Structures are given as structure tokens and as C-alpha cells.
Amino acid sequence: MSKKDAFTLTKKLDHVAFIMDGNGRWANLRGLPRYLGHREAINRIMEIFELCREFKIHVMSLYAFSTENWNRPQDEIDHLMDYLEEFFAKQIDYMDSVGARLQISGDINRLRESTKQACINAYERTKNNGNIVVNVCLNYGGRDDIVRAAKSLAKEVVDKKIEIDDIDEKLFADHLYTKGLPDVDLMIRTSGEQRLSNYLLWQNAYAEFVFTPVKWPDFKRKAFIDCLKEYQSRNRRYGGLKNE
């Protein structure tokens, strides 16, 4: 590590969430098919994982596939799922050995059987680990997450397990896919787009947003540290006058 790469994170940062965007454009710029952008993108995940460990960030969320991404050509979807399965198969031993817990947010029942199994295996294998959580958002939509929570709470009321007045923000959050995880502190979207695209709508309520023009396949140590520096310079007020 060169001296200019050194960075100390002093601000509280429990949960960083990434929108890993720009893979297709990265490939297009090189005259490659879009799926090769996704293949390169997978290589960045472990590098960013290592940096999260280095900076002691306890939770990282990765937007891998949205509920809207089914609108893509089937061939691209198939490649994406192939790469995700390969990623799990290749990295799970290592991630388990360093105490990472892999969690999936999203409805995996709609995925093809082999991807679904890869998710279940990764989850089962690492569920008792606690050093770092890797929350893979797969077939995930923020609105879907909220609707599911509302439905499951409604069912508990109908079944007389809870009273309507028991429902508060804490109980609601406990019915989301991200149950037990802290709110997002920092949301990073690569590739220059400045929107949420249905990502962790509830969990991002008070997140700091950092948008970088760097495309995800190019998102390496320096680009990540630049985002962390930007985050560190922000004043999080939470509606009050606090200077954090």
C-alpha cells in the first residue's frame, strides 16, 4: 500500500450499501459483450470485501439483481446467474474461514434452481459467523420488501399474534429482509447514475449518498477510499442540530 492510499476511517460506519452499476457500459466501451462486464464485476466484490474488513465495516450490502432486472434479455440474466453461482462456489470457503456471514435479501424462489441452491448453501454454511455480514440483494426490490413486511404483519394481526398498536418502526424493520442489520450509513452508486432504483428504500432513510462516476468493474481501492473520504466529510444531522 502506498502512502497516498493510507486512510483512517474515524466516522461511525456500520453498514455500507453498494449499487454495483455500469457493467454493461464498461464492456461496451471496450467493444465487449455486456456479459463480460458482469464477469469483470464479480472480481471487484472480493476486493471491496477485503477493504470493508480492513476498515472494520461490519455490514456490506450488494445490489446484485433487482426485481426490475427481469426486464433484461434472458441471455444476460443467465450469464449473471452463472457468475453469481461461480462466485459463491469459489469464495464461500474463504469467506467462511474469515467469519463472514452471507445473507440473501430478496425472493430466491423465483431464481433458477441452481442459483437458489447456491444461495441456500452459502447462507446455511455461514449463518453462525459474526465478523462481517455480506448481504447480497438478489431479486430484491425495496417496495417488494416493504409490501412483504406489511403482509406478514397483517397476518400476525389476523392470527392474533400481535395487536395493531404493537406495530412500530422497530417491529416493521424486523419484518424486512434485513432484519437484525443496522440501517445503511453510506450508500454508494457507481457509474454516475444518481437514483436509488428501488434499493433498500426503508434502510436508506438516513444514509449518506455518494455517487461516483467510476463504473463498478473499475471500482477499486482508490475509488472506494475516495467515497469514504467524502462520507467522512459529511455532517450527519438526523434532523437535529448535531454536528457529527
Instruction: Give the x/- contact pattern for Mg ion in 19-38, rule: CB under 5 A.
Output: --x-----------------
- 197 is a contact residue toward ligand IPE (CB under 6 A): yes
Nearer to ligand IPE, 63 or 224 (CB): 63
Catalytic, out of 69, 121, 129, 198? 69
Q: Which C-beta is closer to ligand IPE: that of 22 or that of 142? A: 22
Q: Please name the residues in contact with 98: beta carbons below 8 A apart, sequence gap of 6 or more.
A: 53, 131, 132
Rule CB under 5 A: is residue 40 a binding residue for Mg ion? no
Which of ligand IPE, Mg ion, none does residue 121 bind to, with CB < 5 to 8 Å depending on kind? none
* CA 194/CA 166 separation, integer angstroms: 36
Give the one residue of 7, 15, 16, 21 binding ligand IPE; rule: CB under 6 A: 21
Which of the choices Mg ion, ligand IPE, none does residue 122 contact, using the CB cut-off of 5 to 8 A by kind? none
CA separation for the pair 123, 236 (Å, rounded): 33
- Find the part of the chain contacting ligand IPE (CB under 6 A) among 49-57, 62-70, 123-131, 179-187: 62-70
Q: How far apart are CA 101 and CA 59, in angstroms?
A: 9
5 given a catalytic annotation: no
CA distance 44 to 213: 16
Q: Strand 186-189: give its sheet, edge to edge.
A: 100-105, 132-140, 59-66, 15-19, 186-189, 208-211
Question: Which residue is associated with the grid cell 432484519?
Answer: 179
Cell reading at 241 = 442540530
Q: Annotated catalytic, 23?
A: no
User: Which part of the chain contacts ligand IPE (CB under 6 A), choosing from 60-68, 89-97, 115-123, 150-158?
Assistant: 60-68
Figure out which of the listed residues 11, 14, 25, 221 binds ligand IPE, where binding follows CB under 6 A: 25
CA 203 vs CA 15, 57, 141, 177, 183: distances in Å: 10, 16, 12, 10, 5
Q: Nearest to residue 203, comparing CAs of 15, 67, 69?
A: 15
- Minimum CB distance to Mg ion, residue 185 (Å): 23
Count of residues of this chain found to bind ligand IPE when the rule CB under 6 A is applied: 17
Residue nearest to Mg ion (CB): 21
Residue type, 229: K
Q: Which residues belong to the active site?
A: 21, 69
Instruction: Note the residues at the interface with ligand IPE (CB under 6 A).
Output: 19-25, 63-66, 69, 80, 191, 193, 195, 197
Instruction: Note the residues at the interface with Mg ion (CB under 5 A).
Output: 21
